Structure formats: C-alpha cells, structure tokens
Copies of this chain bind each other. A is one copy, B any other.
C-alpha cells in the first residue's frame, strides 16, 4: 500500500465490513480481546507505557528510526478546518487514518526556580519539552527555567549513540522548533551572531543573549550552534541568519557550515541535484518559506463592518460580514521545494547505507504563523504540506519496518471554526464576531467561517488546549492514550534505546 495525499486513497467512512475468510475471523474472535488486554494493559489496569518491547527485541543489524512530525499550532480547530476544506466534512485526512490517536498536555513554567505553571506556551518551551523531556519557560531553547542550564536533546543523545539526525522545517531552520532539537540558548530570538547583544523591533527591545556569546563562554547563536551540532541534515528557510560572520571567526556562518562538512544548497534545483550522502544544509529562503495557499488576492480575515447605528449600541443598526472568498495558490511558493520533497531528501540521506538508524524532526511551521496573521487559507495549505510529508514518512516506514512515526502539534492556536451565519440569526439584531473573520468557499460547495479574536494586536495569541498526537502501528503499546508533552521525549528515547 502506497501512502499518498489524494482523495482516492481515502477509505469510505461508511465502509464497515471486511472479507476475511472464516478461520481468520474465528482466530480474531477467540484470541483478540484477551490478547489485547494482555498486550495493552499492565497488571494494575493502567495503560502500558513501559519501555518494552525495546530495541533489544530486534536483530542487532536492523536499523531503527523515529520520524517526529510537528504541525506548529495544529490543534483540533486547525485540523477540522483543513479536513473540511481539503477533503470535505465527510472526507478523511491521512492523519485520520493513523491507527493510534492520543493527546498531549502542554506544560510550561515561569522563568524561575519556583516552578509555578504557565498555561499557554510558545514553540520554544514546547519544542524543548519534546526534544529534552523537560518543562521550561517560554522563549527558552533547550535550557532550564531560572537556572539556564543546557538540557541534552534527543538529537545529541541519538548522535552519541551512532544514529544519524536531521531537522526539516518550513520556517527558518533557526526558528524555535528546529532550534530546540540541537541548540541551547536562553532566548529563541538570538538566531544569528548579530542578534546576541540585542534583538529589537521598531526600537523596542525584545531579547539579548550575552551569556550565550562565545566570548562569554557560551555556545554562540542558534545558527552557529546548528552548524556545530551533530545534525546530518538541516533543511528549511532562514538563509539570512547564516550570512553574518561567525563570532570570533573571519568567515560567515554559512562558510563555517561548509568547513564543517555540510554540502550547502539554496534552491529546489540544487536540492534535487544534491549528492546522496554526507551532511546537507539547505536554506531556500531568507526567513520563513513562502506558504502554498493564500486567500483570494492575498486577503486575510477581516473585521465585520458595523453601521454607524451599531456603534451606538450592539443591538442596533446592521453589520456586513466579510465577503466569501476562495483559497488560491501563492505564487511565491512555486519555486520552493515542498515539505514533502525536503522530507524525502532527508529520509533518503539519513537512511542510505545506515545500519543503525536515525532521528528526524519534520515541522510544518506556518500552520501557526499563518494563524498568527489571521490567514486561514495559509494554514490549510501548510496542513496539506504536513499531510504530504506524513505520506512520505509512512511510505518510508513501510519499507523500513522499525520506524516509529509520530505526528503532533506543539501548542494550540487562535483560529476557531465558527458558524458562517450566527446560530442566533433569527434574532433581528446584528450578531457578529468582535474579532476578525474569514469566510471561505470550500470545494464541496459550502461556506466555512474562521474567527480570530484572541487579541487586538497585529498577531493573534496561542491558546492552551492540549494537542493531538498520532502514531503509526509502531506506537501501539508504546504511546498511551494521554501523555504530558515531555513524555514524548521518553517514548522516542526508549524506542531508540538511548
């Protein structure tokens, strides 16, 4: 069975019968329930989350691999919006066909030693949880809250144990999610050597990482640490962070990468023509890679237009909701490699002539970034990109049996699927969202409305709901129905026997 993100591979949701021969049916009836109990349950009735069967259960020559796919901000709202748009309300995403679905509770703390919980996270502390098993504070990259200690990552552990490692993303490769898998720094915005003493925007001070400078005994910026990390494959955007001179060196970070053995590619064509072994650094845009889909003529969610009378009282006057729109291809993305292409390049490179195995993190970053900017078409297209990368991962797992494929989100986001016409429309008053709204025509002929109303700023807030976690068959018996986000690290570490 070849996985692909095409409508025709989706099984009908109504299909409930199978055509097994009788002995198979009898075998299942007689054996399965007791054996499922035995296999899935521990003696005290709790879910089996223990370590076995571990790598020692497989022949020493069999390679093992973990592919962790992160949909940044990909919560249930985002998934449902994408399902409805891409496949219709009754259709199925590839995610929906994964055999195991779990839920991951996000944990964060204040940046001090008291450890009081913070209920809404960012991509820095959440990626740190997944990469290291620790709970830390927002903005931190694989460093501890309050004490600023480096936290060992799954990439470092895997590399120490002879596994190859890679990160693939549609954001800058120096962005929080990929960074937390292989670098250690007190603030996510210290992405390149020129950002260490001050990061500011419109003269507003945002961050600084003086203690992380090499001159002060630190490990340098995220870009420098990435090229000095054990990573074999780094693919994504963010070339501008590799242009500055490496601290204390007379070469750029990019040149440093070449010196450290990276083959460097900067376009889709170069990616296609790249060699098939050795270290690979691909930087395909200055910062975040352009997204696949956009609203008609670049439209994003818009404020409903209230009449003058409505400004006097919310039950008076009238309101015009945003005109429905189509989603359309974003031409800026045409020259980019897809997330699928980058993922397949990474999988080939990491697995070729590799008897040990690998760890690969793949991120579809702009599900989140487009939601911050109130662009639902953008988020839908990037969730489609994640689906395609997942198809590649599942195909790889089919020809490489000891491959654990996990898909999850790092945190929830602002977008809400709301009625395209209020459920209170029978009342003769204007009813409308106080935030911004987009109404999208779906291919199946309905209108899908998305609301963004977490704040009054140019960018929406994250939200704090726990997030979905999916796994292929390798996760059965290993991934319980509910985990806290740091436990994902433990599951991956145990699978690789680290």
B434 adjacent to A50 (CB under 8 Å): no
Tell me if A146 is interfacial: C-beta within 8 Å of chain B: no
- Residues of A in contact, count (CB < 8 Å): 120
Which B residues touch A42, using CB under 8 A?
Answer: 18, 20
A76 to chain B, nearest CB (A): 4
Stretch at the interface among A190-198, A362-370, A421-429: A421-429
A445 adjacent to B36 (CB under 8 Å): no
Residues 93-118 (chain A) with a chain B CB within 8 angstroms: 95-103, 105, 107, 116-118
Interface of A is mostly: loop
Which B residues touch A419, using CB under 8 A?
Answer: 119-120, 461-462, 464
Q: Take A418-B461, A476-B36 as given contacts and tell me if A204 and B428 are in contact as well, using a CB distance cutoff of 8 Å.
A: yes
B418 adjacent to A120 (CB under 8 Å): yes
- Contact pattern, A 400-441, Cβ under 8 Å of B = 1, otherwise 0: 000000000000101011111011101111111111000000
A390 to chain B, nearest CB (A): 14
Tell me if A334 is interfacial: C-beta within 8 Å of chain B: no
- Measured CB to CB, the nearest residue on chain B to A122 is B423
- Measured CB to CB, the nearest residue on chain B to A447 is B119
- Contact pattern, A 4-30, Cβ under 8 Å of B = 1, otherwise 0: 000000010101111010001101110
B79 adjacent to A466 (CB under 8 Å): yes
A416 adjacent to B463 (CB under 8 Å): yes
Q: Take A116-B445, A118-B446, A451-B453 as given contacts and tell me if A31 and B35 are in contact as well, using a CB distance cutoff of 8 Å.
A: yes
A31 adjacent to B39 (CB under 8 Å): yes
B37 adjacent to A454 (CB under 8 Å): no
Tell me if A51 is interfacial: C-beta within 8 Å of chain B: yes
What 7 pairs across the A-B complex have the smallest Cβ distances? A417-B464, A453-B453, A32-B39, A101-B481, A96-B482, A76-B465, A89-B117
